[in-house]
Each structure stands twice: as structure tokens, then as C-alpha cells.
Amino acid sequence: MIKLYIDPGTGSMLFAILIGVLGAAGFVLRNAIAKLRFVLSGGKGKREEMKKQPLVIFSDDKRYWKNFEPICRELDKRGFDVTYMTASPDDPVLENPYSHIHGEFIGAGNRAFYKLNFLNAKIVFATTPGLEVYQWKRSKNVDYYVHIAHAPNDITLYRMFGIDYYDAVLLSGDYQIEQVRKLEKLRGLPEKELVKVGLPYMDEMASRLASDNDKPESDVKTVLLAPSWGNSAIFARFGEKIIRELLNTEYNIIVRPHPQSVMSEKEMLDRLMKKFPDSDRLKWNYDTDNYEVLKKSDILISDFSGVLFEFSLVYDKPVIYTNTGLDFAEYDQWWLDDELWTFKVLPTLGAELSEESFDRLPEVINDCLTNPKYAENRQTARNETWAHYGKGAVAVADYLIDKYNELQGKENK
């Protein structure tokens, strides 16, 4: 039996052709329906058909509700109506308590993108990269596309061309702004609107932690292994060796795979879970909300995942990072000669762990837990990557409402 393989570029082209054909058919059908409504409603139907939604939030996965909820709460408080479109049928937004936030499941995969490609809205706001690169195309009936970074690390760690076709990008640090401007210049792109708004979801975590009196207590320290995913991540490079070495220490171990790894690397994870099942000392964690597992852990081991900064800067705890020889071929960083901010700041927040030093793992962990220099450096990192500390949701809501009013004003002229 011959299996047919279609590479992502060809698949995207075929999908674009299909979208064009379906779009043309849909246009004819919608036009006919609009005319019928016009006749039956005395002209009101056509006006309703042309009405744009003020703000559409798109989330490709339920895990991003933690990023958007503080912003939604602030917009709801101001009485600003939002349509929140999600590709997850069990997204918490579908049962959210906010009267002005209207959750809508639009299907997964291409079904979701088809809906997005024909939106009629003033602003589309998302944390999903890849607009206009593969299946997700700009709708001619959307005035403005706004992206918000979903982690406090380098914006160039998105897959290639991840934010090129947004109109605006909301960021948390000056280094990210510099990276975007360099990419625009190298690629001959018009300058996007870049605004520092901070990190609303980390503000939320910090506030939650400050009011949480239920502090974990244990005589045995807990090490959290939470890698990223892909060919340059910990599991792909070190496989089972790192888990085995951790089990040789005196610490309790929690392994928390990246959500994308669950989808893209299931076979590998199944193999690791079978070889290292849950036990008194080792637990696998797949919670949608990572708050409790980060609070429970005393030290984190990761690679280039944004969780390094959540753990270090919110929970004020040390990290161990692995230099897995990240291959930039798939990432926007490939275009730049500058060293990643992530790799410049990580040595100030914790220790590097290489495969050659695995036999010294207990010593490395103990040094990170007790060395005061790492605690002193965390505030410097916060200053560099966490603008508008504690007020990120307010800054985002201010921006979105001001942008809506600006676009509405232009339309009314």
C-alpha cells in the first residue's frame, strides 16, 4: 500500500486553493442570503450582514486561556464585547463567568482556519504565530491583526515568519522590540506597531501566589523536569538518560512534558512513560494549569522553554538549563547573528547541565538551591522582560480599546 506524503508547503498551497474555491462559493451563497434578508427585513438584514465584530480573540488551544483570562476580565469590567473563538471543544472560555466575553468553539485544525479566513471584524487578537504562512490567512474583512507573545523569552524562537504578517505585536521587553525591527529590516517588511504591555498571565500567577497561604512543606526536595518539544529539546537529545540520572538522586521527580510534545511526540512519550511509570518518587504531570506543579517544585530543569522564566521570576526559585545545541534552522533566530537573550540571561538564573556533567547532578542541584547569587540576579531579569509589572492586563485592554476607537474613527470619517 502506497502512503501519500504532502509536505507542509504543498499542503498549505492546496489548502489555499481549496479555501479560494470554497470562499467563492460561500460568497455567492452569502450574497444570495443577504439579498433575501434585505427583501424580507426592509433593508435591515443587509446592514446587519455588514456589521463588524469589534474584537475577536482566537486561541488555538485551551491552555492559552490562562494568557487571555486576565485580559478578558479587564475588558469585561469595562463593558467591551469580545467574541472568543477557540479550537478546543473543552476550552474554559466556553463556560466563562464574564457577561461581555462570548466563547465560541469553531472547530479544530482546518475547520477553525476556514472560519478565521472569512471573519468580519475590526480587530483579531491572538497568541498564535503563523498568520499568512500556512493555513491561516488574513481575512479581507478584518481591519487589524494583533499578536501577543505568550512567554517572556525571545520572539525569534517562533517558527520561521511567525509574526511577519501581523499589524501589531504586544511584547514584554525592549530586547524583543529590537529583534522584531531587525527581522523587518532584513526581510524588507513594513514596520509593525510594537507595544510593551508586560505579561498579564504572569501578573496573575504572581498575584495568586502572593495570596496563597497553602505553602508546600516536605523534607525531600522536588525536581521538576519540564522540557520544550522538538528535535532540539531535552527528550530528543538526551532521551531516557536524564530521567534515569534524576532517579539516582535523593529528590522527588515530576516530569511535565510540553503540551505540543503530547501531540507531536506521543510515541516517544509513551515509550518513556512505560519505562519510567509513576512511582513513590516519580510522577508524570499533564495538568492544563501549571500553577500547582510549579508551586510544589523546588527547582526546575528545562531547555529553552518559557517555563524557565515563569518558574524563576514568578516563583523566585532557581533553574537548571540544558544547552541542547538548539538548531535555529526552523526559527526566526536563524536570520540574526545576535546571541539569544534567553541564553544570555539563563547563566545568571541557574546552572547549565550538560550530558558530560550528568554524574554530578546532585551537586549541581544542591548548589542552585543554596547559592544566593541566583536570587540576586532574578530581579535584573524581571526588569528586562516584565514591563508594567502587575498591570499587564490593564495595558493590553487600554491598547485594544484605543485601537478599536482609532479604527472606528477612521471608518466614520
The closest alpha carbon to 120, from 27, 17, 195, 25, belongs to 27
- Tell me the C-alpha distance between 96 and 76, whole Å: 11
| pLDDT tens sequence for the chain (413 residues) | 444 444 444 555 555 555 545 544 544 454 454 445 545 555 544 444 468 999 999 999 999 999 999 999 999 999 999 999 999 999 999 999 999 999 999 999 999 999 999 999 999 999 999 999 989 999 999 999 999 998 888 999 899 999 999 999 999 999 999 999 999 999 999 999 999 999 999 999 999 999 998 877 778 999 999 998 888 889 988 889 999 999 999 999 999 998 888 888 999 999 999 999 999 999 999 998 889 999 999 999 998 788 999 999 999 999 999 877 777 888 999 999 999 998 899 999 999 988 888 888 999 999 999 998 898 899 999 999 999 999 999 999 999 999 999 999 887 76
Report residue 100 as a C-alpha cell.
Answer: 461581555
Residues 6+ apart with CB under 8 A from 18: none
The closest alpha carbon to 297, from 310, 305, 306, belongs to 310
Q: Global pTM?
A: 0.81
> Collapsing DSSP states into helix, strand and coil, what is residue 84?
strand
> In the prediction, which pLDDT does 245 show?
92
- How far is Cα of residue 87 from the mean position of the Cα atoms in its chain? 14
91 contacts 103 by C-beta, under 8 angstroms: yes
198 contacts 388 by C-beta, under 8 angstroms: yes
> In the prediction, which pLDDT does 238 show?
87
**Is the backbone of residue 388 left (phi > 0), alpha (psi -120 to 50) or beta?**
left
Residues 6+ apart with CB under 8 A from 337: none
> In the prediction, which pLDDT does 49 show?
45
